[in-house]
A and B are shown apart, each in its own frame.
Chain A
């Protein structure tokens, strides 16, 4: 051993000599300590140097040091001490005594360092304190050296990384996963200790698709916590704490066991990921120091006690206090208090355990109160044992296509209470066909529901369903659920039912809900039995209907009876189930009749549109700037044509069959289409083209000038070279191409020169006149004018002689009246005037009245008369026949032989 020249270490002298002397240590008990010499010192120079140096130091202290009294005590024994040290024999004897006094220290060190390769500095301090400063730290180090160890600070294993406060809850979840640690779960599930958000999300989605059970639920919670810890940067600390805990569990088995655990590659990898030492010896040494010397974790045991108290871990705090050989009075009181607290907790735990059997809620409440004092691991276990009571009864009621599940709240009152709802299909059991819940096929439909009601919006239809509700307390479900007593079979009705009436049928359509296999339709009417109607899955057409009779149709959706057997609600003979049904009423619909004779003509500064009103419905006139795409004669829903064309703007209120619109602008053509609207249907009439590229014809007038002559006059349309004149008996020609009408062309010159006098047989004709020209090789027609000759009946009459001189004595006269239109002649009166013909029935003397014949087939009447009663009238007598009343309408009475009307 090399001798180092002695020098006074004033700090050591003060710490190891003066301070202890001031506290009562005898400096003569170990002169080697007092004079800062190793026990086996043999070097005279070192001894002398030590004697002189110490003397100088104590002289200094004695005069001005803080330890003056201690210095005097040392000085008092200096002479004797110096003499001993100078004497080899005395010094050897004193050495033996000193070394013998170190024996307890050596034993302690041997125990503490039994399998450790080194001693932590905290242990040195701990031993000094433990032995009441009987030994100095130097002496302890000397003994450590004598034992072949060194004093070495252990590595840190993340003691400054605090795990999150809710880690202990996660431990409970992990227990359900049969996983000993979060680290093991992460490595097993994700192969990494820090899974990415994507990995966590993918796993979460996997769990959503899986069948719900307690483990799945636990893993969902763990994933949620992992995500939170990752986000908050707490995951590393948690995992490090877990690792430390794992290593410490091996500590009782010695350094080698810990070393083996630390040598596990995942452990090494984890330590490396956290920036910690990875050498197994270092890790094992550090772990052993943590386990064997808690105060050696970088802070003093007192700090550890404080942390334990803060963490509501009195047991650890007490353990730490018990490990100390000397406690301060306050620390002793603290320990006593903590022991009392532990005793109280133990007692209360015992009570709570006993209460679990009879009042688990009360027990849980007590556990919660205990947890505020002491974070007992048992409380988590107790939470798992004390499951919440299930809800009360569960009832299910159909609402629309869904089901409303209601339950009475659970009696559980401790903790956050929520509910988990499952839909459980029913299955048939036994020969009686009882339906019971198939819990294996249960599907979770809601989790963490507050309150006592939940709507299953889209359950499968047509099959028996039960609903089970679990109570959840802090995520822990009740052992059993509450399940609805009776199954419910949801049979939603068909949707979007629409009925429409046709001319001789009623048709219906609908959409079937998901799960429906078909539909059934029943027809009824007052006073008649209900009759089924042949139907397709989504519609029907019922032709067995009478016109104008309202029918009520009930449309029921059908469902296969999945459960088999009989179910409340009525099963059809087919074995299917029927919904309640949707009722609607409809009947045949009278089809509107299209207008076929709409014409438009410019008259008096307005466009006059006329048509024959249909028997039912109203007529709208639409204008199209191009050829209408509506098919003439088609009967369409009104809504489908509501935007077709533009409605004609009227300049005067429309009357039945006539409409007045502004005169169209010149130079264009468009079409007018009449729509007959009735009961939501529109019949498309024959379009009429209005062509303003040619000027319109205005002022058309038709005047029958007796017999077969009809004169047409009109204002010549602008510069048009020609006009087309058309006519037809009855309705107006529909246009220049009307195959039932007659046509003739006139030039302006011929019109001005000759006019237009048409020879037409008697009857009411309607005339159409329009300008015409050839434009780009095509015949173009302008806006026509339409006029109808007044209906005038033509009646011929004659006065005939019946023997004797004409009109004179001895002869008679006979009036013969004959209609020329095939209908019976009206009532007529024969009137005589003197020298001048009577101008009306009241002008002159009435001679004879002939009544219209009752027989509608009679067109001729006649009667005899005389003029004897008119002798007072001057001759010649002028005879004329007139209608007997104005109700006969326009009547043209034509004398067949005018010369016979004068009686001389």
Chain B
């Protein structure tokens, strides 16, 4: 029986093991698992009784004999699970996104979703991007769409709304039509975005929810902020200081260790989960990048992932990271992961004009879809194309 991971606690379970709740008429009681999930020191959240399948009556009624809602909940954390997620999680490809604080993860997610729903989707036979559940839709609107695309503002890290949403995953699915010799089918990739930070990674322990999240992911996107590299800050003459003192190499090392530990791998064994190392904010490198830099060009992923272009970008970004960061980060990544590719993206297209305000010209992302398309091509969801030169 196919197993799935709860997108909240990332515990593995089966569909059959999923719990349900009694109807409201049955009354509420303190839901300890849910309270613990939400970080409450003393259980206090009251919900209708959660019951598993073996606790249900034969016809599926709740233990109190009443007709129970069809909503499934995680048997571990008692969070509600969206129907689509339950139905597709077994065949989906969760993609995890991590990076140091201030590296641009949230902006990347907010812009990536919009790009996938618009420009990128048109190049892939009508790729459809949908939020899984109203909570995710509301989550996206409140945390990403309104600030970025309506108010033209940056995402504040200390925003209380984001803090409140921090524990809840943002779920959206990519439905990609795949043509076969005999008809076509839909491939589904599930993006699960948890607002984690590099500090969270460093602090995570094995069997922690984050470790389970990362282990459950089919691919990992690691956001690397070039402005956190002293040589880059000097080259671009910026006075912006890094928002995080966490060394990115430490994050990668800990990530590898967590995953090996989660999977019971030896230190010499490499993780076969594909890792997309994404150099963010390349718009700040305009004075550094040469005219012929591949990072100045938009990839032409017309119906497929442009492998040649991707290779060029990979080589160049590796070279830049090597120049700015030394061999340490590259070697750490190469020794931890069997498959990795380097990317360069700009989610905004231009640096924020001021604290909290984006460039008035709007958001014009560059290459934000490259990491995801590479992963999807790895999954076989999108073909690899040579691309035009």
Contact = CB atoms under 8 A, between A and B. Distances in A.
Contacts of A699: 359-361
Interface of B: 114, 118-119, 149, 290-292, 294, 296-298, 300, 308-309, 311-312, 315-316, 318-320, 322-323, 349-350, 359-362, 364, 366, 388-389
Contact of A755 (B119, B312, B320, B323): B119
A701 interface: yes
Contacts of A752: 149, 362
A177 to B, nearest CB: 105
15 contacts: A699-B360, A706-B294, A706-B296, A707-B388, A707-B389, A709-B297, A715-B360, A716-B362, A752-B362, A753-B118, A755-B119, A755-B364, A839-B320, A878-B315, A892-B292
A890 interface: yes
Contact of A792 (B291, B312, B360): B291
B292 A893 contact: yes
A706 B309 CA distance: 11
Interface in A809-853: 833, 836-840, 843
Given A836-B319, A837-B316, A878-B315, A706 B291 contact: no
A840 B320 CA distance: 11
B292 A882 contact: yes
A705 B297 contact: yes
B140 to A, nearest CB: 15
Contact of A709 (B298, B316, B318, B359): B298
A698 interface: yes
B298 A757 contact: yes
A839 B290 contact: yes
Interface in A837-872: 837-840, 843
Interface of A: 698-699, 701, 705-707, 709, 711, 713-716, 751-755, 757, 792, 796, 833, 836-840, 843, 878, 882, 890-899, 902
A751 B363 CA distance: 10
Which of B114, B292, B296, B389 has most A Cβ within 10 Å?
B292
B291 A713 contact: no
B292 A894 contact: yes
Contacts of B323: 839, 843
Given A713-B361, A757-B298, 4 more contacts: A705-B297, A706-B294, A752-B149, A755-B364
Contacts of A882: 290, 292
Contacts of B359: 699, 713
A450 to B, nearest CB: 89
B337 to A, nearest CB: 17
Nearest to A716: B362
B298 A890 contact: no
A892 B297 CA distance: 10
A833 B322 CA distance: 12
Contacts of B290: 839-840, 882
Contacts of A838: 319
A796 B362 contact: no
Given A753-B118, A754-B118, A890-B291, A706 B316 contact: no
Contact of B315 (A751, A837, A893): A837
A893 to B, nearest CB: 4
B315 A896 contact: no
Nearest to B320: A839
A713 B349 contact: yes
Contact of A894 (B149, B349, B389): B389
A895 B366 CA distance: 20
A898 B114 CA distance: 30
A899 B314 CA distance: 12
A895 B389 contact: yes
Which of A713, A792, A893, A894 has most B Cβ within 10 Å?
A713
Nearest to A715: B360
Contact of A833 (B294, B308, B319, B388): B319
Nearest to B291: A890
Given A699-B360, A715-B361, A898 B319 contact: no
Contacts of A711: 298, 364
Contacts of A714: 361
A778 B71 CA distance: 58
7 nearest A-B pairs in the assembled complex, by CB-CB distance: A706-B297, A705-B298, A715-B360, A713-B361, A893-B292, A836-B319, A837-B315
Given A713-B364, A891-B291, A836 B318 contact: yes
A705 B295 CA distance: 9
B115 to A, nearest CB: 10
Given A839-B323, A894-B292, A713 B362 contact: yes
B315 A836 contact: yes
B367 to A, nearest CB: 9
Given A705-B298, A757-B298, A899-B308, A751 B292 contact: no
B319 A839 contact: yes
B362 A751 contact: yes
A315 B124 CA distance: 149
A605 to B, nearest CB: 12
Contacts of A893: 292
A892 B295 CA distance: 12
A150 B156 CA distance: 152
